Chains A and B, each alone.
Chain A
Amino acid sequence: MKKTAGISGIYQDPDLVLKAAAEIRRAGYQQFDFHTPYPLHGLDHAMGIKRTVLPWISLVAGVVGAAAALHLQWWTGAVDYPLIIGGKPFFAFEPSIPIAFELTVLFSAIATVVGMFALNGLPKWFSKWQNDPHFLRTADDAFVVTVDAGDPLFHAEKTRGLLESLGAEHVRTVEYDEE
């Protein structure tokens, strides 16, 4: 059975994309997206996308990594199996810093990558838009705008009119097969 995914259109000019993003947002749409061949500066701001929580995930993981490294070195070196090595203290901050630094970086790097995948909903095996021929061009030279049929303001004619008035070309309704 065919279902409507929404409406898509093509832009050639990145400046038009930024203007359109701000206008679509101003019109009150929430479930719309732009698919670009390269990162477009200012697009997330124009679309009103909220800041990601990813930095906080990185920060917490980094602090946990530093604490884990210090605890590991203190517990193994000074509590569980103290050995005198080179007349140095069982535990001191000086030699612990490099390992704490490495684990801070390791923990926060892994958390950032895994967190990025999770927050983006990746890996994603299916998209409603994937059969839209417009999408072939996002890997080449075109900026594609999509407005989701699930948006409360979605209206086949009005939404199409809005996109066309904002300079989108080849505006079309996209359908997909529901299994």
Chain B
Amino acid sequence: MNTSADMNMSPDMQTSADMQTSNTLLAGTTFVKRLQLIGVATTAVGIVLSVVAAMMDMERFLFDYLIAFVFWGGIGVTSVFFSMLQFLTRSGWSAAVRRIPELMGGFTPLLFILLLPIVFGVGHLYHHWVHPEPGDVILAGKQPWLNVPFFVTRLFVYVGIWVVMYFVIVGNSFRQDKSSDIKPTRRNWTLSAPITIFYGVTITFAAFDLLMSLYPHWFSTIFGVYYFAGSLVGTLAVITIIAVFLRKAGLLGDWLTSDRMHDLGKLLFAFNVFWAYIAFSQYILIWYADLPEEIVFFTYRFEHGWEVVSLLLLLIHFIVPFILLLSEDAKRNLNTLLAGAVILLFAHLLDMFWLVMPNYNHDAVTIGWMEFAPVIALGGIFMLATAWQFRRHHAIPVRDPFLAEAR
């Protein structure tokens, strides 16, 4: 491992190190200003559209809002997990890009407030088990888990654990920027292992509660992993998009090298294959057994127009990005990498739509501007939170012990 002592010995490297330090604060840059401006505009438009949508059709809006929540919420939380994973594995290469997901993680504490529409709409969204049909013994058996007070408590516990995770892991990473020794990083090395277990359990049960219980007769034990895999693809897509735009703006050029972009592309590609693997594992077991209570999940999604959405999902969540990002050249080319990341981010949104909306109406594909209103609103808030973090913190973990290795 190269240490900073090595860097001090060579005078030309010392000057470039100084320049890098001054360039890692992006507060005044056009990039951050634009991110902020677009964030404000998107949030404003999204909130106006959401209010109109909610007034027009409250029930439909709540389902649309749930899509937005699991989409952006999953990305926010999983970006903290991505940072934690780097501490868990003591990764050297990622010191150059790790701060991007850490800044994105600033969205996580807002989930406390963003949870409220779901809490208020619990009777609409989860009417299957909130108001079960009389004589439904299966749902009566699930009642100790699926009841409103426990359900709402659980949601806040999940978010609470995620926020603690954010303040501990990302907080220590920020403290390392100002520290003269590596104590904060050491603390993260120790804490990342137990906290990862908490993340794994909460993301799994959040998926069970928020998404699987929409249709409470149906169950799939792999569902939590499925949601995690999709969220990680979405997270890596956003990290990649931000990294590409930073590079195109000529920022952090010393760190976001072609090798690092290639690394991000590899992760994006690999975790998308992981998602496909999990999605297929869930599908083939249900297809083979063909049991009425299991297959209903797919019959709802294979007829009345939903088969088109399912095929589109297969196409843009696996086949197209797989072929597009397969070669090294494609991952090193900023434009193809950006195209792959944008396609996958949209694919993850389609995935959430595909999970949620058949529960609103499986007799027709419900899609219109209303479906996008909350996604735009929360996307704007996500951008604002990220921009705000970019203004407050270095865009590189400037005193990370692995930083020299990551160049």
Contacts and interface: CB of A to CB of B under 8 A. Distances in A.
B328 A95 contact: no
Contacts of A94: 283-284, 287-288
A55 B328 CA distance: 9
B280 interface: yes
Nearest to B328: A55
Contacts of B326: 59
A97 B282 CA distance: 13
A97 B284 contact: yes
B190 interface: no
A95 B327 contact: no
A98 interface: yes
Interface residues of B, number: 9
A73 B280 CA distance: 19
A97 B280 contact: yes
B64 to A, nearest CB: 32
A97 B280 CA distance: 9
Interface string B301-345: 000000000000000000000000011100000000000000000
Interface string B246-281: 000000000000010000000000000000000010
A69 B287 CA distance: 20
A88 B290 CA distance: 10
A43 to B, nearest CB: 13
Interface string A74-116: 0000000000000010000011011000000000000000000
Nearest to A88: B288
A94 B290 CA distance: 13
Interface string B282-294: 0110011000000
B285 to A, nearest CB: 10
A98 B284 contact: yes
A107 to B, nearest CB: 16
Interface of B: 259, 280, 283-284, 287-288, 326-328
Give the 4 A-B residue pairs with the shortest CB-CB distance, closest first.
A94-B287, A94-B284, A97-B280, A55-B327
5 contacts: A55-B327, A55-B328, A94-B284, A95-B284, A95-B288
